[in-house]
Structure formats: C-alpha cells, structure tokens
Amino acid sequence: MFTDKQILRIPGPTPIPPRVQQAMNQPMMGHRSGKFSALFAKTAERLKPYFGTQQDVYIITGSGTSALEMGVVNTLAPGDEAAILVSGNFGERFAKICERYGVIAHRLEVPWGEAVTPELLDAFLKEKPQVKAVFATYCETSTGVQNPIAELAEVIRKQSDALFIVDAVSCLGAVPCEMDAWGVDIVVTGSQKAFMLPTGLAFLAASERAWSVIEQNKSLAFYLDLKAYRKSLKDQTTPYTPAVSLIFGLAEVLDILEEEGLPAIVKRHELMRDMTRAAMRALNIKLMAEDAYAATTVTSCDPQGAFDAEAMRKALTKHYNISIAGGQQHLKGKIFRIGHMGYCEPLDVLQVIAAIEMSLHQIGAPVELGAGVKAAQEVLIAHV
C-alpha cells in the first residue's frame, strides 16, 4: 500500500485534480498587477452560472464560514431579528454568528436527519413577521439532508420582506442553484468542496434587494465589509491581499467544470448519491435522510448499534488509506458520513463501498461481502 496515497471521501476538503495542483504551482505574480487583475475579474465572472445569477460574485480570502459571517454582519444590525432554519450543525452555526453580532435569532429547529419543509416555514414566519432575514443551509453536511431551497424561497417571498440568505458551502457547483429565479438574496460557498480546491477561498453573491439593505446598514465589519469588495471589484481587484495561487487553481477548476457542463455535473452527483444509498440499504445500514431530501454530495449513515462506526472508520483508514467522516455533536461516534463530490466519479464510489464492506468484516460486524457493491453496480449499469 502506498502510504502517500490518501483517499478522501469526507464532505470536505475534497481531492484536488492534478491539473489544478499544477495550476497552483505557477510562478507568483503581483496581486495588484494588470495581468492578475484581468485573471481575477474573468474568474469572478465565470462563477456566476453556478450561483444562477447575473449579479457579481465576490471572492474572499477566507473559509466558507467567513462568507457566512459576511452574510450576517452586512445585512443586520444589533437588535434586528432573524429566522434561522436549523436542521443540523451548520444551521446552528448561522444562529451562533447572528447572536455574536447581537442579532435576535429565532430558531426553527427540526430533528437531525429531517429537512425544513415549506409548511413548517410558512407557519413559523406567520408567528415572526418582524424578522429581517431568513438563514438556511442548502446541504446540511452533518446529516446529509438537502433542504428545498426553491420552495422555501417561495414561502418567504409570499410571507415576508425578509432577505433569504443561504449557506451552499457543501453543495454549490454540484447541485442546481437558480439564485435569481428562485428569489434568493445571498448565496455563499467555499472552495474546498465541489470546487475541488484547498480551503482558503469563499464566494458570495448578493441580489439587488440585498444590496439595498447592505448599503443602508452600518456594518460592524472591516475585513468582511461587502461594500469594500464591491468597490474593489469594479477596479478588478480586492480590498485586501488575495490568495493568488488559489485563484490560479480556481481558473483551472472552472475550465474543468465547463468542459463537463453543469447539467452533467449535477447528474453525476445524483448518480453517486443513488449508488451510495442503494449500497447502504443492501448492507442494512440506516440512512439518515429520506429520499426526497437526500443530499447529492454527502450521505449520512446510522448503524444504530449494529456495529461500531468509529471502529469501522479506523479500519478503513488503517487498511485502505480511505477517510470518511464521523458524526458531529450528539452524533459523534454514532454515525458515519461518506462524501461524494467534486473530483469524484462513480467508480470511486464502488471503491469506497467495497472498502467499507471489507472493514466491516475486519471488525467482526455482520456483512455480506459484495452486497453493497452489487447494489451500487446495478444503479450504475441502469444509468449507463
């Protein structure tokens, strides 16, 4: 076994394509040079289709959480009220950011593994007519749930003048997103998921409705002040030092994505989701999310005591150099999560399923070797 061959099947960071790694190895250039400015402006423009927007997309040197914080601090002031749709760990993160800035966070919570439905949101907003923003997570990484953003946006537009701000960190670039058509006001994402880059870049787009609020809001932010990014982008630059090498890589990523085409990318991720779910069912492992709300980028699985999830994960790493994720918060040690996004294809899914089966056998768990692989193969063959 090659010890340097680490196989990541976690929900991020995800594997980096070799040609992207090569692109990031280009010689450094001045971040205020005309050559870099042209590259930066063109790259930002090329991000628009993945957001489904005609608005500018801002590139921030920071993690996805920096863009989440940006969505809060630029639109709300201390004492403002917001509705936070919490279906897992990352919905709760939005609430914590709001509270750090003195925003009153009204949580609409559902059990982990369930989605926030339009009906629940409709009833909630009727009780909270004063909220100025609604925050939601598109793909809740901690549970493998994909919330119905288009339908939630429709409810908000009918019920409220509140802004709709969406965390799409763990799915944008792998799922449909029609920010303008759906009526979403801010969408944020990060570089280390479906965009196949190292951690270090965040992307954000804002609607005209959002900008009308941002321009009037006295932001508490300095580095995360969106108005500064808007002003700088007009000059094809950033207000603060950008991560130049990551921009080189992003330009190459966009080449790769454009070569495949967004419709094909979405179908590939849906296929990998369906293969993974079929395999888990064949192995009698409970899936946390129901089919209607199953994320296309990560699958969360609950052994329900049939075997030790952590022991299986450790065997997977020890024997096969494959990493999958564990549970978070109260699910730590109880579940496991398989990432299938970005630089990942159906044959990679067969690999991780086969290795999971063998790891289960090695820890003494009841498993029918080949059952999960066969189920996934059948899904793949039907697709081909």
HSE-CB at 163 with a 13 A cutoff on CA atoms is: 25
Residue owning tokens 């930002």: 44
Cis peptide before 27 (omega within 30 of 0): no
Q: Which residue has 């067969």 as its token pair?
A: 350
Residues 6+ apart with CB under 8 A from 134: 82, 83, 84, 85, 121, 125, 152, 156, 160, 162, 163, 164, 165
What lies within 8 Å, CB to CB, of 155 at 6+ separation is 118, 121, 122, 125
Q: How far apart are CA 360 and CA 336, in angstroms?
A: 13
Residue matched to tokens 């329900």: 304
Q: Which of 329, 174, 339, 320 is nearest to 257 (CA)?
A: 174
| Token output for 13 | 């960071």
Question: Which H/E stretch holds residue 324?
Answer: none
Of 154, 175, 153, 179, nearest to 48 (Cα)? 179
**Separation CA 363–CA 17 (nearest Å):** 33
Between the alpha carbon of residue 214 and those of residues 44, 66, 209, 233, the distances in Å are: 20, 17, 9, 16
DSSP 137-175: ESEETTTTEE--HHHHHHHHHHH---EEEEE-TTTBTTB
CA distance 145 to 317: 25
Whole-number Å distance between alpha carbons of 78 and 96 = 13
Known binding residues for substrate are 337
Q: Which residue in 315, 361, 364, 366 sits closest to 336, CA to CA?
A: 315
